[in-house]
Every structure is written in C-alpha cells, then in structure tokens.
Amino acid sequence: MNAVIDVQGLTKVFGDKRVVDDVSLRVGKGQIYGFLGPNGSGKTTTLRMLCGLLTPDAGAGTCLGFDIRTESTRIKRRTGYMTQRFSLYEDLTIRENLDFVGRVYGLDGLRRRVDGALEQLGLASRQRQLAGQLSGGWKQRLALAACILHEPELLLLDEPTAGVDPKARRDFWDQIHALAGAGLTVLVSTHYMDEAERCHEILYIAYGRLIAKGTIRDVIATHHLATWSVEGPHLHLLSRELQLLPGIDTVAAFGSVLHVCGRDAAALERSIAPYRARPEFDWQRSSPSLEDIFIRLMADLDNSGPSGSAGTGGAA
C-alpha cells in the first residue's frame, strides 16, 4: 500500500490526562477513512498531530512522506483541514472568502483556482452571496471549497456534517467520494453510522486508544457478535428483562425492533428460547450492524473505564 500516513505510538498528554495513547495508523492513498469515537476520545487531537498543528509527546512517523515532528510546515502546506465550526468570514461573500484564503496561501493562478472550486462544489451561482446568509449545508460546501483551494494531497475533516440536514450530508459525501476518486486521501471524524459505512475503512478510538480498525466487514467479523432481532408488543418491557439474562451482552432498540446481541451464541440462544416460544413475539436471526458492534464496544468501555483493558483484543 502507498501509505499517505504511517505513524506509530502517537501519544499526547495534557496535564495529567493522556488524551491520545499509543495510536498507530497506516493510511493508503485515495482512500476514505472514517474516524469514530465518543466525545473526548482523542479524535481531534490525533488529527491535529497528523497535520502538524500539534507535536506528539511520544511516537513518530510520516504524513505525506514528511516527518510529523520535524517537517510539520511542509505537511500543513499539502493538507486541507476542515474544523468542526464554520471559521470563514460571514460578512464576506463566498468568492471573497475564497479569494482571501488563496491570498493567505500565496497561491498563483488564484482566479482559476477559485472559479474551479466554485464550479466543483456547485457554488458558482451563489458566489456573490454573503457567507452569513448561507444555510448549514451551503456553509459546509464553502468550507470544503476553501480546504481544497490549494489542491492538497490529504483532507482532514473534523465532524464536518454535525447539525446538517440529511440531504446536505448525502451531497457532501458524494463530493468526498468524487475527490477520493481523483486521488485525494480523506480522514473524516463522524458520529453517524451511515457515514461510517460510506468509508473504505474505519478507525474507532476511545479513551485515547485505537480499539478497532479495518473495513466494516472485517470489524464486524472480528468481534463475532451473535445477533437476533425481535418485534412485538411492549418491547421496552422485554428489553429490561432480556438485559438481565446470561449470554446477552446488549439490547438496543432500532425503531420497532430490538437487536439482542451476545458473544456466546449458545448462551444467547438458551436465554431467549422461552421468549421465542411466545406467539406475540417474532424472532429472526440477523447479522450484526456496525452500530451493534460499537454499542458493544462502548458497553465494555463503560464497564472498564479508561484504565481498563476493554477492546484490546479487538481489530486494532
């Protein structure tokens, strides 16, 4: 694999808190990597170390072929970084914002670059509109246009679709896949499972540790989670009962269906057998979803806390 990012043992400490703990990554060119994890898990700190905005306290490696410790300036010039919050000027138009960003980078052929970004992201017809008048989805497009104006080789997106409506999220992901198809490597942090499923690979971090990584199929297969779905009346009461039984690790509601999961398939089936015999319930064996896996991982972490060892035997 032609590695765009190849780092080992990244660690960052703030005060007495180890925010990122011995994280190693290898990221291939032209791929989209979904970076998942709860709030405060270390995702943003990791992204900032990769692009040279933060220096790791331990660990080493390269990004875009440059040393993350000694060549951070060269990395930043070749990376587009989109923050969680809209950070452009709301009292400037779309075009004025892009012109300003281009001048900060000292870009040549600025008019050509701005015209190209406006056209590529569907902003040309709105280029005279003030940024402050844009909806969340259009602000997102403008921020992405600013990120790719200098034609980066790596794009880091920190929860870019938070608070954006479903259609705008879908349009955004279509644009990301088009950029990746042209050879751009993308690392995007997200809380949305449907977005994670649109990535080529996923990376799951919690308490600063990378606890699962790989394709979605690999991550699901690695955790060997047996899953049944059940429909019927009063599922909230059934959920309470099932959660107390041996062999059942998690019970989660998905609309009008419960997903009942366990790592010991035989123990799980023994516990649900009496309920499968009840005519008011419709039980079906099902495949675990990515969300089932992460609910299981989070249950492990909640039980062990940051000093525990939950997840260390997973796909990481």
- Domain boundaries of the chain, sorted by first residue: 3-219, 223-303
pLDDT in tens, the chain (316 residues): 579 999 999 999 999 999 999 999 999 999 999 999 888 889 999 999 998 899 999 999 999 999 999 999 999 999 999 988 888 999 999 999 999 999 998 999 999 999 999 999 999 999 999 999 999 889 999 999 999 999 999 999 998 887 788 888 888 899 999 999 999 999 999 888 888 889 999 999 988 999 899 999 999 999 899 999 999 999 999 999 999 999 999 999 998 999 999 999 999 999 999 999 999 999 999 999 998 998 888 777 766 655 443 333 333 3
CA distance 206 to 306: 8
Identify the CATH number of the domain defined by range 3-219: 3.40.50.300
Burial 33-46 (b: 16+ CB within 10 A, else e): bbbbbbeebbbbbb
| Per-residue model confidence (pLDDT) at position 304 | 63
Sign of CA dihedral 11, 38, 173, 26: positive
Class of domain 223-303: alpha beta
DSSP state of 276: H
CA distance 252 to 270: 19
Beta 226-231 vs 282-286: how paired, if at all? antiparallel
Decide if 3-219 and 223-303 have a common fold.
Answer: no
- Tokens 């005279």 found at: 128
| Per-residue model confidence (pLDDT) at position 315 | 32
| Per-residue model confidence (pLDDT) at position 306 | 52
| Per-residue model confidence (pLDDT) at position 55 | 94
Q: Contact, 258 vs 287, CB < 8 A?
A: no
